[in-house]
Structures are given as C-alpha cells and as structure tokens.
Chains A and B, each alone.
Chain A
Amino acid sequence: MDALAIATMVKGVFGGALLAVDQPDVEPVAVIEPEKVAEVARFLRETPGLAFDYLMCLSGFDTMPAEEDHPARSTAAEDAGAPVADSTEPTLGVAYHLFSYSQRHRFAFKAHTPRNNPHIPSVTQIWPAADWHEREAFDLFGIIFDGHPDLRRILLPEDWVGHPLRKDYAAQESYRIGDACVQIARGW
C-alpha cells in the first residue's frame, strides 16, 4: 500500500494524533503525537492489511541547528543561501522506519519530544528489534523510552555523563575515572 494511503488510514483511526505528513512527494513521513507512538505502532503491526512486522530502523535525532560559530560549520557567507532547518523550538525526536514482509510495503513515522523532558513510549513489546535501538537512542540522545524493560547505556560506559549526539553537547575535557581504577593507580 502507498505510504500516503497508510497515513490516511492512521488519520482515520487516531484523528488529531497524526499531526502532519512531511515531504509527501518524496518519502512521506507521518508526524505522530509522542504519547500515541505505542498505540499507533500496535495498530500498524496488528492491522491485517498493514502487518508491519519488521522495524527496519529506529533513530533518535535533534532538530537544533548546529551552532553557527562552530569551527566545523562552513562560513556564514557560504551558508547564506541555505534555508533554516526548523524555525520552531528545537526538539528531540525519534524516527521509525517500518516494512511488511507479507504486504511488501514500507512506512515511516516520527515523533517530537521536548528537549528538557524527552519521553516516548517504548515499542519493544511490539518489535523486539527496538530493544537495542531504543537503548542506543537513550544512550546518545537521553530520550527516555517509557516501558522499556532494560533501559541502560549500550555503546558508552555506564558512568558517562551527558548524551553526545545532542547538538548542544559539550565535549568533556577528561573522563571520570571509576573508583576501582583510581585505587589501582594509587597502589602503584
């Protein structure tokens, strides 16, 4: 089924929870109310005609534009013609890319969540594949997935401070050494 038709189906069931459909001409991405993510996901998974049994990708993102005085950014003159990505309040978000092996169609949706208190319902009960992906998004963006059975860091050390893929993350000068390491060093 066409992604726009699927978005219309979701709209029919969830009404206002489907806020918009981004880039409908290229690769449509439905924007969903964050509280409704798990319900929409279950609907997409369990409705016979949709049957999205495969979560291809789950990725966090940050809509904050990169700092203009950041040394890695190109100069202001070069960027003069570039449009501003998002004029509204920057948020964190999660994008879900789905595929159905029985129906052979794909669908994408995303949800935005505030930067100071990012919460999104977990979809691990619907797709076990989400387990590690959600842990990664928690690790690197600090998004809390409510209902995740084992939400802890996956790539970074347990005692790491901060969430590096946020655009306002400041690189640390030193790594906080665990107590055991300090003791070993003193023993020498």
Chain B
Amino acid sequence: MPFKTEEMLLNVGPQHPSTHGVLHLEVTTDGELVTNAEPTIGYLHRCFEKYAETLTYQQIIPYTDRLDYLSSMNNNFGFVVAVEKLMGISVCERAERIRVIMAELNRIASHLMFIGSFSNDLGAMTPFLWCFRDREEILKIFEEVSGARLLYNYYRIGGLAADLTPGIEDRIHSFLNQFEAHMLELDDLFTRNAIVIARLKGVGMIPRETAIAYGLSGPMLRASGVDWDCRRDEPYSIYPSLRFEVPVGGEKLGALGDCYARYLVRRAEIDQSVSLVRQCLTDIPPGDVKEQVKRNVRPPVGEVYVRTENPRGEIGFYLRSDGSTKPSRVKVRAPSFCNMSVFNRISKDILVADMIAILGSVDIVLGEIDR
C-alpha cells in the first residue's frame, strides 16, 4: 500500500534567530527536503530613499549608517564618494588615508560578525564569542575617533568629521598584532574543523553564470570564481596606491561557489584588510581633514551611479541632482538585496539544516535590504 505524504508549509521568521533580523521565509518542505523557500522582506522598511529627498546631502550621511548597520563606515564612504563625484571635488591625502583605515577596520568587524553568526547558525557557540572579543576592540577604536560604537557618522562630503585622536595609531597597531594571533587560533578551531567542512562543502552551489545573472557581488561573487573587486578594478580613493590581493574561490579556496568557499573568501579578506590598514598607517601625511566645502553643498544638475566595495558586496548610489541643496533621487543598490534574490533559486531540494547554512553564508543585513 503506498504511503501518502503531503507537502508542509514551514514559516521561518519573521522573528527567528537564524534569519538575522526580521526576515520571513515561507518554506515548503517535503519531509526533510526544502522544495521552495520564498523570502518576504520589507519588515524593516524605513523610507530611507523618500526621507533622503527632504534632507541636504550632509544630513543624509547619518541615515546611510543605518542601511547596513554592521558596516556603517563603508556606507558613509560609498555615499560621500558618490556626492564628491557628482560635484567633481577631491579630498586631501590624509583624509583619504583615514577613510581607508576606518573602512577596512569596519570590513574586519563585519566579517567577524559574519563568522560569529555563521558558526552560531551551524550550532557552534565558541567562535561567536571569540569573534566578538576582537570585534569589541575595533568598536572601541571607532568610539575613540567618532564617538559612537555602531553608527559612526564619521565621513563628510569633502573630508571627515574629526581627525585621528593622539596615540590611536599605536592602539590600532597593537590591536592588529594581537588580532592576527587570534585569527590563527580561529583557523584551528573553525576553518580547518572537520565538522564545519562536512556541513559546508558542496552546499548551496552557485555557478559563475548564475552569480552574474542575479547580480551577486562581493564575497558571494568572488566565491563563485569571478575575479572582481571594485577597490582594485574600478578604483576609488587611494586604493590604486595600495597593494592587496583579491581572494577568489576556486582551486585555492574551496570548491567553486559553495558555502565553504564563501566562508574562506571572507576569511582571506580579513588578512588583506589587516595588511591594508598597516599600509595606510605608515607615514600618514599631515593635513586638514575637515571638509573644505560649504555645509550646504549644491551639486550641479546631473545624475551619477557610483559603486564601492562594502563587506557584503557593491553598494551603489544612484544620485540625481536638480541643482538644489537636496537630492532629487537617492537610490541605494544594496548588496544584500541582490545577494538575497538568488536565495530561492539555490534553496531547492536541500535539507532544512542546509538552508540555514546557506542563509548564513549569504550574510544578509536586513537594514539595507529593506532600507
């Protein structure tokens, strides 16, 4: 006699620890297999783009903090680079150096957050605590320079809100030295852990063509074998004068486009960011980092699309100026938004536990998906 089975609808979220925020997944399961996983987004929609049209350009900067709230420095960076391009102005060497230092430190903090929450999703608590120990040091550095631990509002159009505080260079140096040793410990605990590899290897494969077609970017794209990084290939700020490698999935870093490759790419990026911070810290030239423009900037009529490399991928700002002090349109092309759109495509005929691993490996921040 045939055994009758039927599909079951499983709601993951909107409030669930593994959804990393208020994300609702409508999952259809056939036994242990996921047959469809439809994400519902918008729970955190705060009308950023509408609000931005009522604010002056400088006033928008604190709102960009709240897009991807785990990498506020990088959001600030992307926005000010976009406005500076629209206005055709450049910034002094010292300010650019400090911008890159803060952006790369924030990249490390963001990737630490990824490793921590990712390991937590897989059921390992210890890496989470280890990563937060080191992230805490970065937050303290940020607090010293900007006054805030999470939402920094540190970059300005044409400069920075404040110069480095005295002695902060030594503090960053000593943090980096200690941090590198901690990362080697983490490799023993997590990166080369047989259980981790068994859980991640070959799970959630994204082929190169799919990654490009769905507009993936950042570590998600590079894990699928596309050798592209805005910092190197469409450079902005002082990145052309710095030496760094772009980790790409493939023979050296795991299989092509699986969860393990996405982890390894981010893990390797941490080392590159450490090197970038060190390069920028040596011989910072003197200069006035305060903005050299008027508080109410008035960019000429025009439109511009500028993308910069965030920890989660390319953040793009599409700005339209009507010549007044307020933008006519600010569109944020959020990396998590595009990375998440491939989720349903790759979550078919997989185990429920693997779906959680895939969601963790996408490394979403709902703040920038919903804006």
Partner of B324, one of A54, A61, A82, A153: A82
Is B99 interfacial (CB 8 A cutoff)? no
- Which of A26, A55, A132 has most chain B Cβ within 10 Å? A132
Task: Confirm or deny: B305 has a beta carbon within 8 angstroms of a beta carbon on chain A.
Answer: yes
Interface status of A56 (Cβ within 8 A of chain B): yes
- Stretch of B69-77, B122-130, B169-177, B315-323 lying at the A interface: B315-323
Decide: B371 and A132 in contact? CB cutoff 8 A: no
**Residues of B contacting A120 in the complex (Cβ-Cβ under 8 angstroms):** none
For residue B331, CB closer than 8 A to chain A, the reply is yes
Q: How far is the CA of A55 from the CA of B214 in the complex (A)?
A: 8
Residues of A within 8 A of B316 (CB): 56-57, 97
Cβ A26 vs Cβ B304 within 8 A: yes
Q: Tell whether A132 pairs with B341 under 8 Å between CB atoms, given A27-B305, A156-B45.
A: yes
Bound-state CA distance A127–B210 (Å) is 10
Count of B interface residues, CB-CB < 8 Å: 44
Q: Does A33 contact B (CB under 8 A)?
A: no
- Which of A23, A54, A60, A73 is the one whose CB lies under 8 Å from B303? A23
Given contact pairs A57-B318, A129-B338, A132-B337, A155 touches B305 in the complex (Cβ within 8 A) = no
Q: Knowing A56-B333, A132-B341, A155-B42 are in contact, say whether A85-B305 is a contact too (CB < 8 A).
A: no
Instruction: Tell me the nearest residue of chain A to B56, going by C-beta.
Output: A74
**Contact partner of A155 among B212, B320, B329, B371, CB < 8 A?**
B371
- The reply to whether the CB of A157 lies closer than 8 angstroms to some CB of chain B is yes
Residue ID in chain B nearest A61 by CB atoms: B329
Cβ < 8 Å to A, chain B residues 41-56: 41-42, 45, 47, 49-50, 53-55
Interface size on A, residues (CB 8 A): 46
Residue of B nearest to A62 (CB): B329
Is A185 an interface position by the 8 A CB rule? Answer: no
B321 to A: closest C-beta gap in Å? 8
Assess whether B266 is interfacial by the CB under 8 Å rule: no
- Complex A-B, nearest 6 residue pairs according to Cβ-Cβ distance, in ascending order: A129-B215, A85-B322, A72-B54, A59-B331, A155-B42, A57-B333
> Could you list 7 further interchain pairs (A-B, Cβ under 8 angstroms) beyond the known A23-B303, A85-B322, A153-B42?
A54-B212, A61-B329, A72-B53, A95-B305, A132-B337, A132-B340, A165-B49
Residues of B within 8 A of A (CB): 41-42, 45, 47, 49-50, 53-55, 212-215, 226, 228, 233, 296, 298, 301-305, 307, 314, 316, 318, 320, 322-326, 328-329, 331, 333, 337-338, 340-341, 345, 370-371
Binding site for B on A (CB under 8 A): 22-23, 26-27, 29, 53-57, 59-63, 65-66, 70, 72-74, 78-79, 82-86, 95, 97, 101, 104, 108, 127-129, 131-132, 140, 153-157, 164-165
